[in-house]
């Protein structure tokens, strides 16, 4: 029907995924989502499956530095893109794969947003947390780049920058649901991490109380 190219009708193929600064070669059925490839093939289970339909945000990770959903993305379509999962946002051994705005350090070093979630108890069961953290990391960068949100009064580019108020945080983070309802402390943690980035100071141990 189509060309003589033998690969043209294959329904599976060999791909290379760039995840947290490392290359992974694998053969995938084209139906495999990025989420399933990470969890079931690469054993990177930090990225969670909640709804599998784009409705909860549990599978949020960074693709080329932007927050995306792994459940509505095909693994084969993610080939060639820089993928950062929750396992890679902090300091990794290779010092790579960190999200935008993070300072990579030694192995096991937490990203400031991760640190803020710990300090402010930004979770209960923790299932939504990797998605919340990946989303927040990128959201803080979006805000810093001047992107407006649906609750920004004046979207005009010359308008004064909108501070990251709790209302702004709630709107910008609305793609991440939390079944435990830990929203109050999530908003505090995100606000704190954003403020810390803004003033270029690290998280202060004493401030959580």
Partner 1 sequence: MKEFAYRRAADVAGAVALLDADPGARFLGGGTNLVDLMKAGVESPERLIDIRELPLDGIGRTEEGGLQIGATVTNSDLAAHPEVRRRYPALTQAVLAGASGQLRNMATVGGNLLQRTRCGYFTDITQPCNKREPGSGCPAVEGEHRNAAVLGASHHCVAVHPSDMGVALAAYDAVVSYQTAEGAGELALSDFYLPVGDTPHRETALPSGALITAVTLPPAPVRSRYRKVRERASYAFAIGSVAAALEVRDGVVREVRLAYGAVASRPWRARTAEAVLRGAPADAGSFAAAADAELAAASPLTGNAYKVTLLRNLTIAVLTELAELAEPAGPTGHDQEGSAR
Ligand X SMILES: Cc1cc2nc3c(=O)[nH]c(=O)nc-3n(C[C@H](O)[C@H](O)[C@H](O)COP(=O)(O)OP(=O)(O)OC[C@H]3O[C@@H](n4cnc5c(N)ncnc54)[C@H](O)[C@@H]3O)c2cc1C
Torsion angle in degrees (nearest 10) through CA of 114, 115, 117, 121: 140
Say which DSSP state 68 is in. Answer: E
d(CA 62, CA 19): 10
Partner interacting with residue 155 (select from ligand X, ligand FES, partner 1, none; CB below 5-8 Å by kind): partner 1
Spatial contact of 85 and 79, defined as CB atoms under 8 Å apart? no
Partner interacting with residue 74 (select from partner 1, ligand X, ligand FES, none; CB below 5-8 Å by kind): partner 1
77 vs 159, beta carbon nearer ligand X: 77
Q: Which of 18, 19, 36, 57 binds ligand FES (CB under 6 A)?
A: 57
Say which DSSP state 83 is in. Answer: E
Provide φ and ψ at 165, rounded to 5°.
-70, 165
157 vs 206, beta carbon nearer partner 1: 157
The yes or no reply on residue 27 touching partner 1 (CB under 8 A) is no
Neighbours of 126 (CB within 10 A): 13
Q: Which of 100, 30, 114 is nearest to 65 (CA)?
A: 100
Residues lying near ligand FES in the complex (CB under 6 A)? 49-52, 54-59, 69, 71, 123-129, 178-180, 182
Residues lying near partner 1 in the complex (CB under 8 A)? 1-3, 8-11, 13, 29-31, 33, 52-54, 57, 60, 63, 66-69, 72-74, 76-77, 135, 138-139, 142, 145-150, 152, 155-158, 170-176
């Amino acid at each position: 029907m189509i060309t003589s190219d033998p690969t043209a009708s294959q329904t599976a193929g060999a791909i290379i995924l760039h995840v947290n600064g490392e290359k992974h070669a694998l053969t995938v059925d084209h139906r495999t989502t990025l989420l399933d490839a990470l969890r079931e093939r690469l054993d990177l289970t930090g990225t969670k499956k909640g709804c599998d339909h784009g409705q909860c945000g549990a599978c949020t990770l960074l693709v080329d530095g932007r927050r995306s959903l792994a459940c509505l993305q095909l693994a084969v379509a993610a080939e060639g893109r820089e993928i950062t999962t929750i396992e890679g946002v902090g300091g990794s051994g290779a010092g790579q794969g960190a999200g935008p705005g993070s300072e990579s350090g030694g192995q096991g070093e937490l990203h400031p947003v991760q640190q803020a979630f710990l300090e402010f108890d930004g979770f209960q069961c923790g299932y939504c947390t990797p998605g919340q953290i990946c989303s927040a990391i990128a959201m803080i960068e979006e805000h810093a780049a001047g992107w407006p949100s649906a609750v920004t009064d004046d979207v005009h580019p010359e308008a004064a920058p909108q501070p990251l108020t709790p209302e702004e945080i709630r709107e910008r983070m609305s793609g991440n649901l939390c079944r435990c309802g830990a929203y109050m402390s999530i908003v505090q943690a995100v606000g704190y991490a954003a403020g810390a980035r803004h003033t270029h100071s690290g998280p202060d141990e004493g401030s959580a109380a």
